[in-house]
Amino acid sequence: MKGYLKPGYSLAGRIDRTLSTHPEPLFPLHTDEYWMEQALIESMNATGLSQPNPSVGCVLVKGTQEIARGFTQAYRQAHAERDAFSRIPSGTTLEEVTAYVTLEPCSHFGFQPPCVDLLLKSPIPRIVIAALDPDPRVNGEGIQKLRAAGKTVELQVLDEEARALNHPFFKTRSTQKTVWIGKWAQMPSGHLADLHGNSKWITGEKSRAYTHWLRQKYDCIVVGASTFLKDQPKLTVRDCAYPHHRNPTRFVFDPQGKLLHLPVESLDGFKVLVSKSVLAQHSGVSSEIFVPIPVTPDSPDLAAAFRETLDSLAFERPLQSVMIEGGPRLLNLLLGAGKLDALHIFTGQQKFLELSERERIAWIPDESWSCAASHKFDDDLLQEWVKKD
């Protein structure tokens, strides 16, 4: 199935950029689409760095020559436009420059002054913008100010691609809720593992590298207790393209308390979500590591309680996105309860002889889902789905 994003794009941005630092352009040289693609590629340097602010890129072009580019810096620091302006070579005049920005310049004071004021004070005559900012403090106001000052403003160049890259940012602005994403690798039959829970390796190196890029894109990663015990996953970003800004905060979903008997050091920095009733049966466990879910393991409200518990925890930065990496029981629980907002599904050609329905994902897309992207990583097929608003 073909996605609505342009070929070569996904919910992570330019797909080749997640594997290589120098992807080839997909659009004719020096067109608006070409330069906006460059701005989008630049914005990916902010993945894992700018959250909860969106990853934004800005490229300044004079004629057919790029003069500067920039991307959103760490949370509360410079936005893409200011980063690009700081890199303009000394003595460069801006009267014939076009600014390509992947998100509407902000028009309000936050931790940084309004980027639209920077453009208004400059002689830059033309600004090309991919996506409008959904923040109610902006939401078209920046564009109105630019046009009122006599600037030429072009809109919606690679709009869908810019919005997809920042899907959690746009989604949280419309719902005021954390975005939850499912990711899994399956055989053509839909099984994630064989009868005994063995799953290595269903997909190839490129699929795994792309997954690692996703890990730094999302704030928090969760696996089920069985997956943790079987695979001892690291859930790091080691194999994707640079820069590597962060490894995600890592959790294990363990309502039955399977991990309570393990030494704390074997948890390797993971935090564990356990049913409150199970946790109450064990004394002396660390409250910093084991987090109570306020329902029993067999409660019909387990999925909702799990999501609400994790969403309510205190993090270093505001929590915007959570990726569920498995296993099948956890994914089926959340899919069945309608608690996932987007999906990254990898289908490899690996086939196991002994299979069990317990290791199969019971999900078929319906009209409430939209296919965003479809891409081949060698023999693997990636499909990405987004829950419609």
Q: Residue 110: what pLDDT?
A: 65
Judged on CB neighbours under 10 Å (0-12, 13-18, 19+), 2 is: exposed
Q: Find tokens 């809720």 and name the residue.
A: 177
Closest CA to 184 of 69, 341, 348, 37: 348
Find the radius of gyration of the CA atoms of the chain: 22
Q: Residue 389: what pLDDT?
A: 80
Length of the chain: 389
Residue 190 near residue 345 (C-beta atoms within 8 A) = no
**Sign of the torsion angle spanned by Cα atoms 159, 173, 182, 367:** negative
Give CA–CA dist 346/284, Å, rounded.
41
Q: Any idea which residues carry the catalytic annotation?
A: 81
Q: Residue 18: what pLDDT?
A: 97
Q: Residue 198: what pLDDT?
A: 67
Give CA–CA dist 367/348, Å, rounded.
25
Closest CA to 296 of 277, 272, 314, 281: 277
Q: Residue 316: what pLDDT?
A: 87
Tokens of 63: 């004629």
Mean pLDDT for each 10-residue chunk of the chain (389 residues)?
91 96 93 98 96 96 97 91 96 95 82 87 97 80 92 97 96 93 93 73 92 96 93 90 93 96 91 96 88 96 97 92 94 96 94 77 93 96 95
Tokens of 315: 């993090």
Judged on CB neighbours under 10 Å (0-12, 13-18, 19+), 387 is: middle
Q: Residue 111: what pLDDT?
A: 67
Give CA–CA dist 38/12, Å, rounded.
15
Q: Residue 274: what pLDDT?
A: 97
Whole-model pTM over 0.85: yes
